[in-house]
Amino acid sequence: MFRRLSSVVCRPFAGPWRAVLVLAVTQILAWGAIYYPPVLTVPLIAADRGWSATLTMGGFSFGLLIAGLASPRVGALIDRHGGHRVMPGGSLIGAAGLVGLVYASHPVAYFACWMVLGLAMSASLYDPAFATLGRVFGAAARRPITALTLAGGFASTVSWPTTRVLIDAVGWRGTYLVYAALLALVAAPLHAFVLPRGKARPEVIAAAGAPAPAPIVPARGMTFALVAAAFAAYAFVPSGLAAHMLAIFGRLGLDAATVVTIGALFGPAQVSARVVEFALIRNLHPLWMARFAVGLLLFAFALLATFGLSVAIAAAFAILFGGANGLLTIARGTLPLALFGATGYGRIVGRIAAPSQIMQSAAPLLLAFVVERASDPAALAVVAAFALLALICFALVRRPPSLKPALNHGAAPFTQNKP
């Protein structure tokens, strides 16, 4: 296991694996600067501006909506021009949006800044990074994608403590200015000048023993709709639980210190699941991995429903949820590549991301409505229902039987997998 991990770390920085190193750094910066801070900064912004918490968090949800709408176009641009030309713009736009938040004293200006940040997220988070790796590595992108998610899994671990320290030192305004500087002066140059400019060519892939990057299944019709629906249904789960899970556990009887400790289990569980995938189950087809991951999450809900809430059950729930999310993040990048091929991969990932990010934007608000009008258990039941819908969609995905034998030949990661 450790030999495989060290082989990634020790890859020469020249060549396509340089993309993984660059994106590992910039993913931590992008997630840490744009996506994770609102949990800590929104209450401060609301208090400072005199706005409601709902309105202030609504800006973040609006940004996710914009990111979803922009994702297909961004993916197509990466297919055409490469991540080294598209992702620098995402970092610079993100920096501008963060600076705008500091000075936005009116709700309209605040939402306009989040619209800018939504565009930045569409061009700087996982989906454009996956599209970039798909362009650089072609059909052999599974291991690079997994390696990237190992680094990305530490974004929340780094961001939340760093954001808290910065807020205590320079306030929320200073925090966003620091993050804007990191995006503009570190992430953007890395994207522009260090990301590989090459593109995987069919003849190179064939020379490595892999098939040419023709789609295994056309990226349209029922199969594509089921895959997009599955990821969209699942996207409701982490978005909704991230916003409400700890508060729900607190209202159901756990003390504040225990709730925080349980929340801290999510990140390590997520990274651990990715390490296991990389080292032990990398030959498992992404479709089966997605089914297993959602099944793991449903098992967590079954434990909660059967035994009720206790410290042990809450801890088990957080660990299982983290493990499932870690695997699903990998599947989000590798399943489209395995089913639909490397040709047009960026646009395909963007089309799948669009409904997922729209669902992410709606989940916190919908669950808040359910909690207010019904109960905490009802909110958890709604989340479980979306997880079940995701599993049903994944279970219905089928590949043409006549094409399955082709996956058993060749040295490329995707040609060795069995569903």
Q: What is the pLDDT of residue 300?
A: 97
Q: Is it the case that residue 203 has pLDDT exceeding 60?
A: no
Domain-located, residue 2:
no
Q: Is it the case that residue 289 has pLDDT exceeding 60?
A: yes
Q: Are residues 215 and 177 in the same domain?
A: no
Q: Are residues 171 and 297 in the same domain?
A: no
Domain-located, residue 60:
yes
Q: Is it the case that residue 2 has pLDDT exceeding 90?
A: no
Summarize pLDDT for 371-416 with one digit per residue, the tens. 889 999 999 999 999 999 999 999 999 865 544 433 333 333 333 3
Domain-located, residue 5:
no
Q: Which of the four pLDDT bands, split at 50, 70 and 90, describes residue 201?
A: low
Q: What is the pLDDT of residue 282?
A: 73
CB 97 within 8 A of CB 117: yes
Of the listed ranges 8-17, 85-94, 98-107, 145-154, the one predicted with least confidence: 8-17
Where does a domain end: 165, 200, 235?
200
Where does a domain end: 154, 175, 200?
200
Overall number of domains in the chain: 2
Range of the domain at 52: 11-200
Query: Can you give the pTM of this predicted structure?
Result: 0.81
Instruction: Please return the burial class of 186, using the count of CB atoms within 10 Å of its CB with bins 0-12, 13-18 and 19+.
Output: middle
Q: What is the pLDDT of residue 200?
A: 64
Domain-located, residue 387:
yes
Q: What SS3 state is found at 17?
A: coil
Q: What is the pLDDT of residue 267?
A: 81
Say what percent of the chain tops pLDDT 90.
54
Q: What is the pLDDT of residue 14?
A: 55
Q: Are residues 291 and 191 in the same domain?
A: no
Domain-located, residue 4:
no
Q: Are residues 222 and 331 in the same domain?
A: yes
Q: Is it the case that residue 225 has pLDDT exceeding 50?
A: yes
Amino acid at 275: V
Q: What SS3 state is found at 396?
A: helix
CB 26 within 8 A of CB 83: no
* 333-to-19, 43, 108, 134, 339 alpha-carbon distances in Å: 15, 33, 35, 9, 11
Q: Are residues 179 and 285 in the same domain?
A: no
Q: Are residues 296 and 320 in the same domain?
A: yes
Axis crossing angle, helix 266-279 with helix 142-152, rounded to the nearest 10: 160
Q: What is the pLDDT of residue 113?
A: 98
Summarize pLDDT for 47-79 with one digit per residue, the tens. 999 998 889 888 999 999 999 899 999 999 998
Q: Is it the case that residue 216 has pLDDT exceeding 80?
A: no
C-alpha 170/C-alpha 345 separation (Å) is 42
